[in-house]
Amino acid sequence: MAWGASFTYTFGSEGNQDRVNSMPEWQRNIEQDVNRNVNINTVGFGSVDLAAARWGEELASDLFSSGSQIESKVYNQSFNSKETLVIGRLGDTEAGSEMGMRRLNEPNWSLPVNDSWMQGGIDANKPFYLGSNVSISNLRSRVNPMYPTTVFFRELTQLRGANYYREGDWMHPT
């Protein structure tokens, strides 16, 4: 069953080189792998090969290298959560929260904060509920050309890199 969501973008292309230069090394590795024509067309990201083993173990230590209290706090929130963790676009995770699920709700949000929250759930081997449909409109960003993919795409990539698989509206650890 195909999602019909296939696309690529050019890593380090004109207009986003400053963003690339400011990325941590693990993120540059992901972005470079995505640039190698990652094709997202199968249920559960079966065709995605992101060389996750290379960066997966480095992720947790890189996330906390700055000693950020916020990153540590959100990591622990997801790691210790008794509620179902929900990911997706902001409006969809708000709806999940209203249904009793836990979403990342941090006023000092940043990509590293988001990554830390995700990593906490991954390290605790928690399943993630997909609050948003996996569709090209939810994976590709049209807001800012410097960031061609959405945070939801980044979350799915992080889960796939941790060997999660998709079953219906869920991402499960292997």
Q: Is the pLDDT confidence value at 26 over 70? A: no
Examine residue 9 and state whether it is found in any structural domain, yes or no.
no
Examine residue 86 and state whether it is found in any structural domain, yes or no.
yes
- List the domain range (segments joined by +) for residue 143: 17-39+49-172
Examine residue 53 and state whether it is found in any structural domain, yes or no.
yes
- CA dist list (Å): 52 to 15, 66, 92, 149: 27, 22, 27, 18
Q: Is the pLDDT confidence value at 41 over 60? A: no
∠ CA 118-33-132, rounded to 5°: 40
∠ CA 125-2-32, rounded to 5°: 65
Structural domains counted in the chain: 1
Examine residue 3 and state whether it is found in any structural domain, yes or no.
no
Examine residue 21 and state whether it is found in any structural domain, yes or no.
yes
CA dihedral 36→123→20→16, nearest 10 degrees, is 80
∠ CA 124-125-131, rounded to 5°: 105
Weakest mean pLDDT among 1-10, 21-30, 133-142: 1-10
* pLDDT single digits (tens) 92-101: 999 999 999 9
> What does pTM read for this prediction?
0.62
The Cβ of residue 87 has, within 10 Å, a number of other Cβ atoms equal to 27
Percent of the chain surpassing pLDDT 90: 56
Examine residue 6 and state whether it is found in any structural domain, yes or no.
no
* pLDDT single digits (tens) 74-118: 999 999 999 999 999 999 999 999 999 999 999 999 999 999 999
The Cβ of residue 60 has, within 10 Å, a number of other Cβ atoms equal to 16
Tokens coding 21: 């230069």
Examine residue 132 and state whether it is found in any structural domain, yes or no.
yes
Examine residue 35 and state whether it is found in any structural domain, yes or no.
yes
Q: How far apart are CA 126 and CA 120, in angstroms?
A: 9
